[in-house]
Chains A and B, each alone.
Chain A
Amino acid sequence: MRQVSIIGIGQTKVDEHWDKSFRDLGVDAVLAAIQDAGSPPVEALYLGNMLAGQLTGQEHTAALVADYAGYRGIEALRVEAACAAGSSAFRVGYMAVASGLIDVAVVVGVEKMTDMLGNEVTAALASAADADYEVMHGVSFVALNALLMRRYMYEHQVERAAFANFAINAHRNAMNNPNAMFHAPLSEAAFGKARMIADPVSLLDSAPICDGAAAAVICPTARAREFSAHPVHVRASAVATDSLALHDRKDLLFLQAGRLSAQKAYAQAGAGPEDMDLFELHDAFTIMSALSLEAAGFAPRGQGVRLAQEGEIFLGGRIPISTMGGLKGRGHPVGATGMYQIVELAQQLRGEAGKNQVDCRLGMAQNIGGSGGTIITHIFESAD
């Protein structure tokens, strides 16, 4: 096994890109990352995507993006794990380079969601859940998170307002990220009276529907300095699974796959949650932030929400999260999100996060597929 490093990163702004197609977005991010890496000889492209077939009528997307990016002929594969597609592609790229089969790979996450109507996108997103035994009953993806949030509030005796800082923090951090979808602050009052989508989950608990693509170029650490003055080293890469359906979980309020993948990642990195300087978590819904913090060991069970209430998740806090806006503020182009998390961590570890710069050496990203059926954890280290 070889050590692997990120030598280039690229991203499109997350937005409603009426003027850009799926392939345009993918190509933009791929070329930006390759240029950032000093145009190394790319041998393979791994593309993370969840919904291209359902929302754009286009499958076979890895070959398409490779061709349009000027890399016709190379190895190109798409990897899917619902909303964890982005980091599942990174995981496959990491395995290819670590194994010695591939020297230089580009990994890109792409999602184009705004060509379809809201209820069609809602139905497509629900395909992350159990089609026969959850979705058939009219349960949207938001509703699954609402079932989690209601039970969390009941068992841990917290009010909805306790989750406000997850969304407020995300919006505040997005203000200084030019690639974020939202650049408006969010107040506690606005959070309190937000419209319900699936009670108790409101519009302001939820990440927006949007388009975007983010990419990274990776190579063996031994060669990283050939291409980059500031490589970022991959210290851990781990995937774990759980039941797709919430009703099949042994313990509804604990993300077992989050715990398992975090434990594997900590073991690989020889580190623990106390060593992480920041955590890019999967804040698709405020409840997911709380559950992720608990599963990854940053808070005991039922206390994840306290980290938000006490401001420990802010940029100056004990464990800053969503430092460039997270899914809530930067936006959540689902199959691209995992790569946005990784690209933003690389920005932080390269010292290129501008006003949101965290003093950091080690950072962790955790990408969640569905309501926790797949959870992927990566840990990165600054080379400086």
Chain B
Amino acid sequence: MHIPRQWRTRDQRLSLMGEVCPKCGVKLFPPRDVCPECSGPAKEPFALSGRGAVYSYSTVYHAPEGYESYVPYTVALVRLEEGPMVTAQLTDVDKEQVAIGMPVEMVTRKIAEDGEDGAILYGYKFRPALEAGAAC
């Protein structure tokens, strides 16, 4: 992934920075400036908590170019507490233990590297929530 693009998305990748619509209050991730719910302008930053639950998941055995060395890895749709859904990899978990509904939390991990000399891409992944027992 090219450096300017990595730089542009840093707040999203590293701190799940989304937006909140001042008109209808819906939380948005990723930020999109025009609220899809009420069509009002939604430019107010809002950092999401990173807590959520697995909505669906898949273990990838054939990866796209650039991700081959990580197979098998598990990707998921995670429904965040505040409402938005995000696509991300799961980490620190055996693929057999993943289930729909499993509580997860965001962590920052290496996502990919651009060859031996290229930049390393860091971003959000999700792991089983450490205080899941207490929270539920």
Contacts and interface: CB of A to CB of B under 8 A. Distances in A.
B111 A138 contact: yes
B25 interface: no
Contact residues on B (Cβ < 8 Å of other chain), bracket: 35 or more
Interface in B92-136: 100, 111-112, 121, 123
Interface string B39-76: 00000000000000001111111111111101001011
Contact of B111 (A137, A154, A195, A196): A137
Contact of B59 (A130, A198, A246, A252): A198
A71 to B, nearest CB: 36
B59 A245 contact: no
A284 interface: no
A327 to B, nearest CB: 18
A82 interface: no
B87 A198 contact: no
Contacts of B61: 195-199
A147 B76 CA distance: 7
> Which of B86, B87, B112, B121 has its CB near the most chain A CB atoms (within 10 A)?
B87
Interface in A193-207: 195-201
Given A147-B77, A245-B87, A136 B64 contact: no
Given A136-B121, A143-B75, A154-B100, A246 B87 contact: yes
Contacts of B12: 132-133
Contacts of A248: 36, 85
B111 A136 contact: yes
A275 interface: no
A247 B86 contact: yes
Contacts of B86: 133, 247
B87 A134 contact: yes
Interface in B24-47: 30, 36
A129 to B, nearest CB: 9
A79 B111 CA distance: 33
Interface stretch (A27-35, A86-94, A117-125): A117-125
A255 interface: no
Nearest to A135: B64
B71 to A, nearest CB: 9
Contact of B123 (A120, A137, A140, A142): A137
Given A137-B123, A151-B100, A252-B55, A118 B62 contact: yes
Interface in A137-158: 137-140, 142-143, 146-148, 150-151, 154
A150 B68 CA distance: 23
Given A136-B123, A245-B87, A247-B87, A150 B58 contact: yes
B58 A146 contact: yes
Contact of A199 (B55, B59, B76): B59
A126 interface: yes
A119 B64 contact: yes
Contacts of A133: 12, 30, 86-87
A154 B64 contact: no
Given A137-B87, A197-B62, A247-B85, A147 B68 contact: no
A150 B87 contact: no
B136 to A, nearest CB: 20
B100 A140 contact: no
Interface in A215-230: none
B120 to A, nearest CB: 13
B38 to A, nearest CB: 14
B57 to A, nearest CB: 6
Contacts of A118: 62
Contacts of A120: 65
Contacts of A195: 61
A123 B64 CA distance: 4
Contacts of A138: 60, 63-64, 66-67, 70, 73, 75, 89, 111-112
B5 A198 contact: no
Nearest to A126: B64
Interface of B: 1, 5, 9, 12, 30, 36, 55-68, 70, 73, 75-77, 84-89, 100, 111-112, 121, 123
12 contacts: A123-B65, A135-B64, A136-B121, A138-B112, A139-B87, A146-B60, A147-B87, A151-B55, A198-B61, A199-B58, A201-B58, A247-B87
